[in-house]
Structure 1
Amino acid sequence: MNILDDLKLQYKLGGIAMRVIYWNIACFLISLVFFYQYSGGGFDYPNWLALSSDPQVFMFKPWTLLTYAFFHGSFLHLFFNMIVLNFASQLFLTFFTQKQYLGVYILGTIFSGIIFTLSYYVLNISAPIVGASAAIMAVLAAVTTYQPLMGVRLMFVGSVKLWHVTAVILILDLMQLRLDNTGGHISHLAGALFGFIYMKSLQNGTDLSVIISKILDFFTNLFKKSPSTPFTKVHKNYKKPTEKVTSRIVTKDKTQQQIDEILDKISQSGYDCLTKEEKEFLFKAGK
């Protein structure tokens, strides 16, 4: 199995969190081709991708409330964001569903984008913003609100409480609020605020992520082909055939049983614990 097949299999089996990470990486690679200024050593994103704080631009390109969260200003920006996203995603998905995860990610992105544009409009500053940090903070703050005392292990640090991790990130944002990248820090704080609001609403019986789930389900069903019902001829003198008595025990075939065993192994120890033969078997079975 080559590296490309390995990546395809991870994308297929990794769930929504892995797919969001892949989408961010893919958008960054596209950015290197179309938007990177090699002479200036930076990205020049068009205003139909980056979120602008200028109302005259923003009002006519509302989709940028979502697209800005999938592009990044540098490799390090992407790298550290994906590390924190992977960390927050695993914690969130321990307690909640993939649909809730995607809902928090998207709604956190939109909420933070609106707060950013309003803040910069009030401050009379015009600047674009890109990055998934706000959405990541929404996911992290949501799970922290739900389980603040959960113990997590950090490299070079050891065991700490989850709320300690989130608090340090928020304090750093507050300390740098009036320094460089003010808009980025505002969006981070807004993302954390949304994560807190989401979790409190959920605990009170209102799941805000249902909004995103319903929208996605609508478009999925819109483009899904409805199964055609074949015409059946009805005979009046129809004699009901004698029903055969069959066993209610359904046995799995060997292939499905082996797939289930491998998936159980992934859920317990992760994808990387698979042998080369097991990875190849899963890839061939998924075709």
Structure 2
Amino acid sequence: MNILDDLKMQYKLGGIGLKMIYWNIGCFLVSLVFFYQFKFGAFDFPNWIALSSEPSVFVLKPWTFLTYGFFHNDFWHLLFNMLVLNFSSYLFLTFFNSKQYLGLYILSVIFSGLIFALGFNLLHYSGTIVGASAAIMAILVAATTYSPLMGVRLFLFGNVKLWHLTAVILILDLMQFRLGNSGGHISHLAGAFFGFIYVKLLQNGTDLSKIVSVVLDFFLNAFKKPGTPFKKVHKNYKKPIEKTTSRIVVKDKKQQQIDEILDKISQSGYESLTQEEKEFLFQAGK
């Protein structure tokens, strides 16, 4: 099995968390081919992929409220996000299922994009964003909200409570709000807020992820090839009569004669046999 086959097998057998990592890496590789400017060493994402804060742009390209959540600015941006996504996915899927994971990922990306666009317009800023950070924060905060006291073992710090780790990440985001990448930090905090709200609503009986499941099922069924209608054929069916096999073993004539001669020997001795019986027994013994 070569590397490509191994990757295909991992994708097929892996859970939704691994599939989401594959999708993000795949989008990064595509962007590396089409949108990376090797001369300047930077990405130039078109406004039909990156989410712009300009209403004149995102109104005409509403799908960018989703697509921006699968692309990254550089390799280190991707690497850090995928490491945190892998960690957060493991925690989330400990308590929730794959449909809830996918629903939360998609809805948090859309929600965070809306908050980014609204926030930048209120602050009179202009810019674009890409990255899965908002969805990752939503998944991490959702798991933390559900089980804040869950123990997590970190490489340098040992065992800590999950809420301690999440709190540190959120505080760092708040501290960097004015330092740069304001749009990214707005979307991060919006994703965290959405993850918190998602779990609280879920605990009250409202699962927002069902919205995504219904939409995806609709499109899957719409593009599914119609199958041939099932026709039920009625036949006069008769149960076959089972043939009973006799348990009585019928000996052949030769064996029966041998048994009779042996009985005669046991009762009267060999000398009681006739010459014909002696010759028959002799021939049978060959």
Please indicate, yes or no, whether the TM-score normalized by the shorter chain is above 0.5: yes
Which residue in 2 is equivalent to 1:72?
72
Corresponding position: 1:225 with 2:261: no
Identity in percent: 67
Counterpart-to-counterpart distance in 2, 1:132 and 1:105: 9
Equivalences for 1:181-192 in 2 at 5 Å? Answer: 181-192=181-192
| Alpha carbons of structure 1 residues 226 and 122: separation in structure 2 relative to 1, 3 Å | same
Which residue in 2 is equivalent to 1:284?
none
Q: Which amino acid aligns with 2:182?
A: T
Counterpart-to-counterpart distance in 2, 1:66 and 1:7: 26
Q: Which amino acid aligns with 1:171?
A: I
Which one has more relative contact order, counting CA pairs under 8 Å at least 6 apart? 1
Deviation per CA, 1:76-126: give whole Å up to 9, x if none: 000000000000001111111100000000000000000000000011111
Shift of the alpha carbon at 1:244?
9.8
Corresponding position: 1:33 with 2:33: yes
Counterpart-to-counterpart distance in 1, 2:182 and 2:238: 76
Corresponding position: 1:241 with 2:238: yes
Which residue in 1 is equivalent to 2:43?
43
| Alpha carbons of structure 1 residues 232 and 65: separation in structure 2 relative to 1, 3 Å | same
Shift of the alpha carbon at 1:225?
2.2
Deviation per CA, 1:151-200: give whole Å up to 9, x if none: 01112221111111110110000000011101100100000000000000
Q: Which amino acid aligns with 1:102?
A: L
Aligned length: 242
Structure 1 spans left out of the alignment, 5+ residues: 246-287
Counterpart-to-counterpart distance in 2, 1:121 and 1:50: 17
SS state of the match for residue 23, structure 2?
helix
Equivalences for 1:121-140 in 2 at 5 Å? Answer: 121-140=121-140
Deviation per CA, 1:14-60: give whole Å up to 9, x if none: 11111110010011111111111112111000000000000100111
| Alpha carbons of structure 1 residues 186 and 241: separation in structure 2 relative to 1, 3 Å | same
Q: Please, what TM-score do these two structures have when normalized by structure 1?
A: 0.81
Counterpart-to-counterpart distance in 1, 2:217 and 2:157: 42
| Runs of 4+ that moved beyond 4 A | 230-234
Shift of the alpha carbon at 1:242?
2.6
Equivalences for 1:73-152 in 2 at 5 Å? Answer: 73-152=73-152
Shift of the alpha carbon at 1:239?
3.1
Counterpart-to-counterpart distance in 2, 1:164 and 1:69: 26
Corresponding position: 1:195 with 2:195: yes
Deviation per CA, 1:118-143: give whole Å up to 9, x if none: 00001111100000000000111111
Counterpart-to-counterpart distance in 2, 1:136 and 1:168: 15
Counterpart-to-counterpart distance in 2, 1:85 and 1:198: 18
Counterpart-to-counterpart distance in 1, 2:212 and 2:154: 32
Name which one, 1 or 2, has greater alpha-carbon Rg.
Answer: 2
Deviation per CA, 1:196-242: give whole Å up to 9, x if none: 000000000000000000001111111122321255666xxx63433
Counterpart-to-counterpart distance in 2, 1:232 and 1:4: 44
Q: Please, what TM-score do these two structures have when normalized by structure 2?
A: 0.82
Which residue in 1 is equivalent to 2:157?
157
Q: Which amino acid aligns with 1:226?
A: P
SS state of the match for residue 206, structure 2?
coil
Which residue in 2 is equivalent to 1:263?
none
| Alpha carbons of structure 1 residues 231 and 94: separation in structure 2 relative to 1, 3 Å | closer
SS state of the match for residue 152, structure 2?
strand
Counterpart-to-counterpart distance in 2, 1:24 and 1:239: 58
Counterpart-to-counterpart distance in 1, 2:49 and 2:188: 19
SS state of the match for residue 160, structure 2?
strand
Q: Which amino acid aligns with 1:118?
A: L
